[in-house]
Structure 1
Amino acid sequence: MSLYKTAKAIVSGIFYPLYRIQVIGKENVPKQGPVIICSNHISNLDPPVVGITSPRDIYFMAKGELFERAFLRKLLYGIHAFPVKRGMKDRNALRKGLGILEEGKTLGLFPEGTRSKTGKVGKPMAGAGFFALRSNAAIVPCAIIGPYKPGKKLTVIYGEPMDMESHRVARTSAKDAAEAIMAEIRKLIENYNSQHTSLDK
């Protein structure tokens, strides 16, 4: 078994019961072809949670400093992470991400770029829009809802793939494309909250 599969099995065995993880819409993730899963970012635990709930193996960007230690670098590569320099345009990371998609694999992105301190969805950076426009990948919005507290339910929702072709044809800017993706993530959260608010009444 690969390091990725082993890590996924171990983390799943801990996180699913600890956070009572509920997954909705997993069938919306295409089984084949390039996919970009774009999620809101509320915790440092979001990458492993998206990793264990997605039906496909995911490649994530991780801050470059984490790759400075040999042991950690080997571990990160083993779980499909690759380095990105934060605070600047990292052409190597952009090429690596596009290469992953060209191979028909799945890229995981957090469009906000950094964790939300309030839990509310923030404004995206242009990165997610860049990958969406420069590839033919299916864009799957993902929403993580709920507190990371033991015993409390954490919900992960995968929305239907977005049609980005109109944005590609119209030559939409990367920033505007990222905004469109974040709008879909917000919609997933709002729909879920409205449904559960009405059920609680």
Structure 2
Amino acid sequence: MSFYTFARALVKQVLTPLYRIEVSGVEHIPKEGAVIICANHISNLDSPVVGITCPRPVHFMAKEELFRTPIVKQLVSRLHAFPVRRGMGDREALRTGLALLKEKHVLGLFPEGTRSKDGKLKKGLAGAGFFALRSDAVVVPCAIVGPYRIGKKLKVVYGAPIDFTPWRERKASADEVTAVIMEHIQKLLHAHQ
């Protein structure tokens, strides 16, 4: 058993009853091939929650600061996270993300880039659109419907994949594609709040 599988099972045992996690739409996640899961960001627990509700291992970008301490770096790396320098176009992080998609992995993204303080969906950053345009990955929108309160139900909803073939063909901008992703996340939030 890999460390990721062990950690995922352990975290699932703790978080699922604690937040009464209810998952729907898992059937929208392809069983194989490159996938980008794009979710709203309301808590530090979003990454583990997507990680335990997605049936496939998920690779996340994580803020570079987490990789500065050797023990934490080793832990988050074994949990399939890789560093990103926020607030600038981090080419190394973009290359890593594209390489993972080329290898047919699942990439988990929070297009807002940082947590929403009020729980409302913010404007997405161009990174999500960049990955959608530069890869042949299936993009699956995800809504985390909170708040995170012990004993109160937390919903994780995976939506139908978005086909970006037309956008790729007409060479749409990354910002335009990110906006489409955010619209899909917003629709899921409206439908399940």
User: Per the shorter chain, which TM-score range?
Assistant: over 0.9
Deviation readout 1:27-58 (Å, 9 max, x if unpaired): 11000100000000011110000000001100
SS at match of 1:22: strand
In 2, the alpha carbon distance for the partners of 1:189 and 1:105 equals 26
2:9 counterpart letter in structure 1: A
- Whether 1:24 and 2:24 are equivalent positions in the alignment is yes
Aligned position for 2:144:
144
TM-score, normalised by the number of residues in structure 2: 0.99
Q: Which runs of 5+ in 2 are unaligned?
A: none
Q: What number of residue pairs does the alignment pair up?
A: 193
Deviation readout 1:48-73 (Å, 9 max, x if unpaired): 00000001100000111111111111
In 2, the alpha carbon distance for the partners of 1:115 and 1:68 equals 21
- Whether 1:188 and 2:188 are equivalent positions in the alignment is yes
In 1, the alpha carbon distance for the partners of 2:146 and 2:128 equals 23
Shift in Å, 1:191? 1.6
1:87 counterpart letter in structure 2: G
Shift in Å, 1:150? 0.5
In 2, the alpha carbon distance for the partners of 1:127 and 1:44 equals 20
SS at match of 2:36: strand
Aligned position for 1:41:
41
In 1, the alpha carbon distance for the partners of 2:65 and 2:16 equals 29
Alignment RMSD? 0.6
Aligned position for 1:3:
3
SS at match of 1:32: coil
- Give me the identity figure in percent: 58
Aligned position for 1:89:
89
Which structure has the larger Rg? 1
- Whether 1:159 and 2:147 are equivalent positions in the alignment is no
In 2, the alpha carbon distance for the partners of 1:113 and 1:80 equals 18
SS at match of 1:177: helix
Shift in Å, 1:158? 0.3
SS at match of 2:93: helix
Shift in Å, 1:170? 1.4
Aligned structure 1 segments of 4 or more residues deviating by more than 3 angstroms: none
Q: Which runs of 5+ in 1 are unaligned?
A: 194-201
1:7 counterpart letter in structure 2: A
